[in-house]
Each structure stands twice: as structure tokens, then as C-alpha cells.
Amino acid sequence: MQKLLEQSLDWVDARYPVKKVWDEHLAKYYAPKNFNFLYYFGSLALVILVIQIVSGIFLTMHYKPDANMAFASVEYIMRDVEWGWLIRYMHSTGASFFFIVVYMHMYRGLIYGSYRGPRELLWIVGMVIFVTLMAEAFMGYLLPWGNMSYWGAQVIISLFGAIPFIGDWLAEFIRGDFVIADATLNRFFALHVAALPLVLVGLVFAHLVALHKVGSNNPDGIEIKQNKGPDGIPVDGIPFHPYYTVKDIMATVFFLILFAAVMFFVPELGGWFLEHDNFMPANVLQTPPEIVPLWYFTPYYSILRATTTDMIYVLYGVTVAMAILTVISVKDIRAKGATVVVAAVVLVALNILQPKLWGVILMGSSLMVFFGLPWLDRSPVKSIRYRGWMFKTALTIFIVSFFVLGFLGTQPATGLNTRIAMVGTVLYFLFFLLMPWYTTFDKTKPLPERVTE
Amino acid sequence: MSDDGVNHTRRRLIGLTAGMGAVGGAFVAWPFLASWVPSARAKAAGAPVEINISKLEPGQMLSVEWRGQPAWILNRTPEMLDKLPGMVDLIVDPDSLESIQPDYAKNKTRSIKEQYLVLIGICTHLGCVPLTKLKPGLAEGMEADWRGGFFCPCHGSKFDLAGRVYKNVPAPTNLVVPPYHFATDTLIVVGVDPSMSIHGAEGAKNMNKKMKENLSGSKG
Ligand code: HEM
Ligand code: FES
């Protein structure tokens, strides 16, 4: 028996590089030995990607992408399809958990400097995954054709209308109609179940290829490949299999327990995972009393809402201050000139473009700035463990602003809330804009030779 | 890079082939992209709607669906109309210069007949349906200095009783006035300009153009 198995494996291996791939990516892939809790979230993201794809395929078997039938077909899944409720709750709970996991994954990258060289591309692919994931979630949210689905999509697609000249045409192009309609639902369905999942899987593959080319970072932020033993193996590395496969399986078990608890007992999580206004069918004549996106979009939504006429004055101030700071700091006369020109262009644009468009620009930028992290960070060390008080303070302020913005995004945009959101927005951006300075002046601790336990 | 051993003819042919490929690719992409614009069916939908206003008392409002959007008709009381001139300081575009409305509604009351306000009930910010808060003051949960109008719950835009947008809210322009006319004293037709109802075919062509403009919402 054993012999037969071995022979079959050899037969396959002569035609397909099974052992080579196994060794290169698992049994002889050396990962730093000091991974901690935060390093589980990458493999958990893979687990949840599979959950979403499988539960999604089964939902597709009962769902109808038609404006007249969509809402009823979801109710049918919930009430009449055997175990349909479970499949649907698995998918809706999965969406929120996907974002929890990915946010943790990104937070890990942020505090340990995993975005720094040589992992810039890994980080960029990760960010593209994140943006794609947001698009995937947004389109999926339209499908139940509830009132919140409808008006949420209306608001977000209208954002494109703010772009000068082509905006109105573009919004119409995306909707395929003059308003959100059957055409919109039908195409979002195609994108949500076929196009974007394929893109996501492709991107995740590219993410892992990039990861295995450069190797994982670790909580100490030092490169284990710079310290190899006589056998050419990093002294601080351990084979991914079996050491980390076992740990990842354990993490998956704990994760699935938590997942099941939410899915079975509190699938709506008090309106945070499934919104109450979405239990009413889309009504073209009536907006829900409050348009609130699901929690994972609320920080960006807050930034959008905070951008009113008053915010433009704040932006003038920030632009001028940043320009002065840059001109003082850079030595090269051409760089100084370029800064002045860029600042002047921004100031003119602030004058002529509407606040509505700036809201869209700021919201887009709040994601785009993440792409710049590898180049904004000037610190000689990567990990927060060896950074000084400036980075730690900046990071704390950023995280607090992120949560405050996220919370405000779920609340009515009253006067005071908008003011706080404005402050939060400025602090959010300053984390990135000021990074070249505070990471340069920050006092760092000396790096260890070897990873610490 | 040195030129040694480079076969320039082949290079050129490779370039040419790639170029032709790109052109072919663009031709193939076109039908797919074009399939996204509103279909003939979507464009055809949207016949004008007729609204009987004989029962619409002063101070009352009606909402009907026109082209998948809410069209509002508000019968304004004299008190409501009296307030309009006094609003000017609070309003971004009191004369509706930047806003979208047919020329015959580009006036102080934004209407054909002073009393009847006809609007598309879609916020010019990001397209929610504003709530109707006609009563001034605290009566409808607004602030004490509220003068009556519309309030968009999505991001807090406010509009007065002529659909004009307040300063310092996210919506940039006044609510859109659709093309409409009075077929009789008590019958409003939304979707058809007064001139079109007279000029027949010529007017209908004009109407399609106008409607598209109005529908595509606020301009940049
Ligand atoms: C579908 C979503 C994603 C999946 C399935 C995924 C998967 C993974 C896996 C399996 C790893 C290795 C394990 C680990 O280090 O935790 C990893 C590493 C990494 N990912 Fe992701 N990822 C996803 C999204 C993202 C996003 C949104 C970002 C950030 C923009 C990102 C940035 C990174 C970075 C920087 C690393 C290396 C971390 C280090 O070595 O310290 N990933 N990813
Ligand atoms: S959609 Fe009305 S304020 Fe944003």
C-alpha cells in the first residue's frame, strides 16, 4: 500500500512539480520563528475567502437578480430553502468577519513596518486586494434589494457624478439607467459573483507569490535572511510546515468557533452586520431616515460627510502648512519649486471645485495614502518595538481617529458630529502627511542581532 | 543597449504586430463597454405623468413617480411664498444661476404658477430623497430657527420652500425642477415642457434632450 502511494506520487511528480512546490512553499519555506497572534490573520483571510466563495455559490443557486424578484428570493432563501438561512447568515457574517480579519492583518503590517522594503509590492498588492474587497462588498450589498441596499448604492454611485465634465455620464454608465434599476442590479450581480471573485483569487495568488519571494517580516522587523547558518538556512527561521501549519490550524479552529457563535446566535449583531432598514424592500420614493453603510465603510463615509464648505478653509490651512514645512525641509531648489507649484495648484483647485467633489477626493485619498506608506516612512527601524515616542503617539492618534470616524459614520451628521469628524479627518491624514518628519526625528532603539522571543 | 545583432526589420514587424493587436483589442473591448450604457428599453421608459391637483389643498404636497424618481408638487400657501425673498442670505444660489431648471422656472419662486412648486425629490448632493419639513420651527424636529422646507437625512442638506439649497451643507445646487406644464388649471403634466405641448413633434424631440439633462442630476 505504502509502496503503491509512493509510486503514484513519483508518477505525478515526474509530470507535475508537486514535491518542488511543497518544499519551496511549505516544508522548506523558512519563516521567522517569532510570529505572534497578529500573524494568524493572513491565513484566516484565506479561510474566509473560501467560506465566502462556497456560501456565495450556494446562495446563487436560489437568488434571482431581478429588481422585481430579488427581495422576495432572499426571503425565500431565509424561510423556505432547507438550511437556506444558514447559508445566507454564513455569507453575511463572513463579509463582516472578512473585514475584521483584513483590518487586523493591515494593522499588523502597520505596527511591524511590513510595508517597508523589500515588501513594498507585497503591500501594494495587499492594498489592491483591500480596494477590490470593498468593491465586492459594496456590490454584494445591493443584491438583497432592500431599501438600504438601494439608497446606499444610489449615494455611492452618485459620488462619481461629482467628477467634473464626465461625472454624470459616468454615473449613468455604471447604473445602466437614469436611476438605480434592474440593469444596475443585474450587472452588480455579474460582478459580485463572477468578475470580482476571480480578480480577488488572482490577486491573493500574486500576494502569496510576492510574500514568498521576499519572505515574511516579523514582530522585530529585522530581516532573518541576513543571518544565515552554514547550511544557508536563516538561523531564526523554522520550516513553515509543520510548525506554522499546525498553529494556523489551531487558530482556524478558534476562529470558526467564534464565527459559528455569531452566525447562530447574533447574525445581525444588533444591526451592525445586517442593517434593519434592509429588511424592507427598495422604495424608489423614500430614503431610509438615515443612510448608514455597514460598519467597515463608516470611517471613509465620515470623511465624505465631513467635507462641507467649512472644511475647505481647513484644507487651505493644511495645504499651506504642509507646503511651508516641505519647503523648509527639502534642500534641493527644484524640489522647493515643485512644492510651491503643487501647493498653488491645490489652493486654486480648492477655490474652484465644489466641496462635494472634495468630499469624494478626500474619501478616495484616505485609501490611496496607504499605497504611499513604504515611501513616507523614513525610520531606520521597521517595528514599533524599536521606535520612539513620536511614532507611537502618531499611531495612537491615527487609530483613535479611525475609530471615532467609524463611529460617527453610523450617527446622524449633526453640527457637532460633523465638527468632530472634521478634526478626525485632519488627524487621519496628518498621520501620513507628517510621517516623513516624525519618523526622521524619532529616537529609535538599537535593533537586536537575532529575533527576540 | 547596443544595436549589434538586432534585426531591425523583425523589430519593426513585432512592433507593427503588437500595434495591430492593440487596435484589435480595442475593437473587441468596445461592444462590452458600450453594453453598459442605458439600453433602448431604459431610454424609452419614462413617459410623462399627469397629476390632478384639484384636491391638493394649500400647504399640502404630493409625491409621484416619474422615470423612477419622486416628483413633488407642493401647493404653497401665501405665508410660505412670503418667506422666500427673506431667505436670500441663507441660500447659496438664490437666483438659481448654477442650478438646473427649465427657463420658465428660473425665477424667484422657481415655478410657472407662483403657488405650485414642482421638484424632483432627489438631493443634489448624492441623490437621497430629502424629508419634507414644511412647518417652521421645532414642529418637525428641526432647529428653532428652521423656516420650513426640505431636509436631506443622508448628509444633512437643507432646502427652502423653493427647493433652494442652504449655505454650508454638502449639496451644491438647488433641487432640480423637471419640465412640466399645466394642461388645464388642475392638471399638471410632468415630463413635458409648455412649448412642447404646443409645438408637437418638434417639441417632443426637444423634450427628450431636456429630460436627459434634467435627469442626469446636478452638473459637476
Ligand atoms: C483577501 C485578502 C488577503 C489574504 C487572503 C491575505 C493573505 C496573506 C497571507 C496568507 C499572508 C502570510 C501570513 C501573514 O503574514 O499573516 C499575508 C501576508 C501579508 N499581507 Fe496579506 N492578505 C490579504 C489582504 C491583505 C491586505 C488588504 C494587505 C494590506 C494592504 C495585506 C498585506 C500583507 C503584508 C504586508 C504581508 C506580509 C506581512 C509580514 O510579513 O509581516 N494583505 N497575506
Ligand atoms: S444626499 Fe442629500 S445630503 Fe447627501
Distance of alpha carbon B63 from alpha carbon B150, whole angstroms: 13
pLDDT in tens, A105-152: 999 999 999 999 899 999 999 999 999 999 999 999 999 999 999 999
Within 8 A by CB and 6+ apart from A116, the residues are A217, A221, A374, A377, A382
**B158: DSSP letter:** E
Tracing cell 422657481 back to the chain, one arrives at B110
Distance of alpha carbon B173 from alpha carbon B165, whole angstroms: 6
Distance of alpha carbon B175 from alpha carbon A355, whole angstroms: 17
Q: Is residue A382 lining ligand 1, measured as CB closer than 6 Å?
A: no
| Local confidence band at B197 (pLDDT 50, 70, 90 cut-offs) | low
C-alpha cell read off for B106: 428660473
Q: What is the mean pLDDT of residues A49-59?
A: 98
pLDDT at A225: 94
Task: State yes or no: pLDDT of A409 exceeds 50.
Answer: yes
Task: State yes or no: pLDDT of B203 exceeds 60.
Answer: no
| Local confidence band at A244 (pLDDT 50, 70, 90 cut-offs) | very high
Contact B42 A355 (CB under 8 A): no
Q: Contact, A336 vs A342, CB < 8 A? A: no
Gap from CA of A349 to ligand 2 centroid (Å): 23
Domains and CATH numbers, chain A: 24-227+235-268 (1.20.810.10), 295-441 (1.20.810.10)
Rg (alpha carbons) of chain A, rounded to whole number: 25
Q: Contact, B220 vs A352, CB < 8 A? A: no
Q: Does A414 touch chain B (CB under 8 A)?
A: yes
Local structure of A297: helix, strand or coil: helix
Give A169's contacts in chain B (Cβ within 8 Å).
216
Local structure of A68: helix, strand or coil: coil
pLDDT at B204: 47
Distance of alpha carbon B10 from alpha carbon B6, whole angstroms: 8
Q: What is the mean pLDDT of residues A391-407?
A: 98
CA angle centred on A236, ends A230 and A238, rounded to 5°: 95
Query: A157: which strand partners?
Result: none
Q: Contact, A368 vs A203, CB < 8 A? A: no
Q: Is residue B172 lining ligand 2, measured as CB closer than 6 Å?
A: no
Distance of alpha carbon B42 from alpha carbon B34, whole angstroms: 14
Query: B187: which strand partners?
Result: B52, B184
- Closest ligand relative to B175 C-alpha: 2
Q: Contact, B149 vs B197, CB < 8 A? A: no
Tracing cell 478616495 back to the chain, one arrives at A364
- What values do phi and psi take at B63, rounded to 5? -125, 125
Output the pTM of the full model: 0.87
Task: State yes or no: pLDDT of B216 exceeds 70.
Answer: no
CA-wise closest residue to B175 among B153, B194, B195, B157 = B157
pLDDT in tens, A272-292: 899 888 899 998 888 888 888
Q: What is the mean pLDDT of residues B12-39?
A: 94
CA A302 to chain centre: 16
DSSP string, B103-133: GGG-STTSSSSTTEEEEE---TTT---PEEE
Q: What is the mean pLDDT of residues B96-110?
A: 88
Distance of alpha carbon A259 from alpha carbon A274, whole angstroms: 15
Q: Does B178 touch chain A (CB under 8 A)?
A: no
pLDDT at B2: 58
Instruction: Identify which of B36, B131, B167 has the shortest CB distance to residue A173.
Output: B36
CA-wise closest residue to B156 among A157, A310, A272 = A310
CATH fold, domain B47-215, is Rieske Iron-sulfur Protein (2.102.10)
| Local confidence band at B218 (pLDDT 50, 70, 90 cut-offs) | very low
Contact B220 A158 (CB under 8 A): no
pLDDT in tens, B133-191: 998 888 887 888 888 999 988 888 899 999 999 988 878 899 999 999 999 989 999 98
pLDDT at B118: 95
Average pLDDT, chain B: 84
**Nearest residue CA, atom 1 of ligand 2?**
B126
Instruction: Let me know if B181 is a catalytic residue.
Output: no
**A126: DSSP letter:** H
Q: For residue A384, give the amino acid letter.
A: I
* Number of neighbouring beta carbons within 10 Å of residue A66: 15
Distance of alpha carbon A321 from alpha carbon A290, whole angstroms: 36
